[in-house]
Amino acid sequence: MLAAMPPTPPPSPEPGEAPTRDRGDACPGALRLHAAADGLLARLRLPAGRLTSRQVMVLADAAESLGDGSLSVTSRGNAELRGLRDGCGAGLAALLADAGLLPSPTHERVRNIVASPAAGLDGLGHADVQLWARALDAALCAEPRAAALSGRFLFALDDGRGDVAGLGGDVTLIAAPDGAAFLTAGTETFRLPGAGAGGAGHAAAAGSAAGTAGTAVRAALACALAFLDAAEAAGTGAWRPRELPGAHLPDWARALARAAITAEPVPSFAPPPAALPPAPGPLGDHALHVLAPLGRLTAGQLRALGAGADEVRLTPWRGVVVAGPAPDLLPALAAHGLVTGPADPRTGVTACTGTPGCAKSLADVRADAARAPGGPLPVHYSGCARRCGHPHGTRIEVTALGPDTYLLDGVPVPRTALAEAVAAARTTPMES
Ligand code: SF4
């Protein structure tokens, strides 16, 4: 039986085994363009994946006029413009700033916030963490020291349904059913009590929610700054808390106390069970969810998504939540080539950049992934062993060994037999 790859555990350096880095992270940004094999690449941080309808249209125009005509959705719900022409950086920056996508040039690469994409739309979850994400983004951009965070430091805000709590956040906030929140930093978890519960009725509930959000945001920022202090003291150039030597781990409780936040340690915290991404289709009465085929949205698809939407939210599973439209928009989006229903065989199929965008790719993985047969289990195609952009959680791994051979869950498979092998793997129950 073919066994799926287990979820990739985060690196957990033991004391004395922490990496020492002699440079900052090389993550691209909106202002720091990366020279890829298919041209320049810009990565746009979109806290909680959120874009207004106008911003969607601006990105569609930018993709067409400056890039290769499409937008890539990353595994953090950010966006990438690829194939950008040399010399377009200043024009792109002006365009993004005008659209409100560059609120702080000094902080543009540290706005790494994932949040439950359906929060506030489908009646599930315990709090609208999309609002928390906006408040956290504003707090981050207003704190000059936060600009020193690496482009890899991640905040994960889960509304309690368990969809983003397992995405490897460096600071994770999870809404609790009683109006409180849990914060996990490093390996420690704290309960942050709900706030502002005085009075009665709707106004009091709204005040309590706002109070919890404010406390959660202040706590997350305090922990991020505590990490920066610890990283500076360690002198190892750590990008994330898990890279710190054991002797230099932050005193998270002290950092929270210093920020005047009441936080109760939770020694044996059980996070919510990991939730699967929502199936493509309607999402509550006033939203829908579609998937971008292999994580790419053409300019035409972007315009179809943005037309008439209140907002769209790019998701960590390379989908798009569209808030505002009637569900009967789905046929039109299907006609644009988007994945609009769970029966579409493209559901659950992801791929790295591959050729021609990545010079390391050993095969045309995106062409082969586009021919992937359907099945219940997710499958990720990679052009080399780095397996960039793989999803979290249980999945089938297909990795190129050369132009005509793949490794499927550890077994070499000729390209001519790949589709059949993937079909079998996607329908074979997991080994536990
Ligand atoms: S997995 Fe390899 S081929 Fe694919 S994008 Fe990453 S480095 Fe490139």
For every residue of 355-395, which 3-state class applies, written as one string? CCCCCCCCCCHHHHHHCCCCCCCCEEEECCCCCCCCCCCCE
Give dist(CA 73, CA 80) in Å, integer: 6
> Do residues 399 and 387 lie in contact, with contact meaning Cβ atoms separated by under 8 Å?
yes
82: Cβ contacts below 8 Å, ≥ 6 apart:
36, 38, 39, 41, 67, 68, 70, 72, 353, 357
Q: State the Cα–Cα distance between residues 327 and 286, nearest whole angstrom.
A: 7
Q: How far is the CA of 380 from the centre of ligand 1 (A)?
A: 12
One-letter amino acid at 41 equals L
CA distances from 75 to 9, 167, 319, 351 (A): 16, 9, 10, 11
Ligand 1 centre to CA of 247 (Å) is 34
- Cβ contacts of residue 278 below 8 Å, gap of 6+? 118, 122, 289
Q: Which atom of ligand 1 is nearest to the CA of 386?
A: 1
Determine the residue of 8, 34, 360, 381 to mutate for testing ligand 1's pocket, defined as the one with the most ligand atoms within 8 A of the Cβ atom: 360
CB-hemisphere CA count at 13 Å for 306?
19
Whether the CB-CB separation of 7 and 393 falls below 8 Å is answered with yes
> ∠ at Cα 368 (332, 9), nearest 5°?
95
Residue 10's pLDDT is 41
Provide CATH code, domain 349-426: 3.30.413.10
Whole-Å CA distances, 61 to 65, 295, 298, 413:
6, 18, 10, 41
Choice from 358, 362, 364 to test ligand 1 binding pocket (greatest atom count within 8 A of CB): 358
Phi/psi-derived region of residue 389, left when phi > 0, alpha when psi is between -120 and 50, beta in every other case: left
Protein residue with its CA nearest to atom 2 in ligand 1: 384
| Residue ranges matching CATH 3.30.413.10 in the chain | 349-426
Does 75 sit in the ligand 1 pocket, CB within 6 Å? no
Nearest to 244 by CA among 11, 9, 19, 8: 19
What's the Cα-to-Cα distance from 405 to each of 180, 384, 400, rounded to whole Å? 51, 11, 6
pLDDT at 8: 40
Where helices occur in 42-128 by DSSP H, the ranges are: 53-66, 89-98
Residue 6 carries which side chain, given as an amino acid letter?
A: P
Structure confidence by residue, pLDDT tens digits, 149-197: 999 999 999 999 999 999 999 999 999 999 999 999 999 999 998 754 3
User: What's residue 17's pLDDT?
Assistant: 60
Rounded CA gap, 220 and 241, in Å? 13
Structural contact between residues 320 and 60, judged by C-beta atoms closer than 8 angstroms? no
> 3-state SS string over 288-341?
EEEECHHHEEEHHHHHHHHCCCCEEEECCCCEEEEECCCHHHHHHHHHCCCECC
| Ligand 1 atom at shortest distance from the alpha carbon of 362 | 3
Q: Of 399, 404, 403, whose CA–CA distance to 425 is shortest? A: 399
Q: Is 235 helix (H, G, I), strand (E, B) or coil?
A: coil
User: Residue 428: what pLDDT?
Assistant: 83
Q: What single-letter DSSP state applies at residue 224? A: H
Which residue in 210, 75, 185, 204 sits closest to 131, CA to CA? 210
CB 141 within 8 A of CB 152: no
Q: Residue 331 Cα, ligand 1 centroid: separation in angstroms?
A: 34
Q: What CATH number has the domain spanning 25-106+285-339?
A: 3.90.480.10
Q: Start-end ranges of CATH 3.90.480.10 in the chain?
A: 25-106+285-339
Q: Give the total residue count for the chain.
A: 432
Residues 6+ apart with CB under 8 A from 215: 181, 192, 193, 195, 261
Residue pLDDT tens, the chain, 432 long: 333 343 343 444 443 467 777 777 888 999 999 999 999 999 999 999 999 999 999 999 999 999 999 999 999 999 999 999 999 999 999 999 999 999 999 999 999 999 999 999 999 999 999 999 999 999 999 999 999 999 999 999 999 999 999 999 999 999 999 999 999 999 999 999 875 433 344 555 555 667 788 999 999 999 999 999 999 999 999 999 999 999 999 999 999 999 999 999 999 999 999 998 889 999 988 899 999 999 999 999 999 999 978 899 999 999 999 998 666 889 999 999 999 999 999 999 999 999 988 999 999 999 999 999 999 999 999 999 999 988 888 899 999 999 999 999 889 999 999 999 999 999 986 654
Which residue in this structure is represented by tokens 């079909």? Answer: 423
**Could you tell me the pTM of the whole model?**
0.90
pLDDT score at 432: 46
Kindly give the pairing relationship between strand 155-158 and strand 171-175: parallel
DSSP strand pairing (281-282 vs 287-291): antiparallel
Mean pLDDT of the chain: 90
Q: Is the CB of 383 under 6 A from ligand 1?
A: yes
Q: Which of 35, 148, 132 is nearest to 89 (CA)?
A: 35
- Provide the pLDDT for residue 352: 95
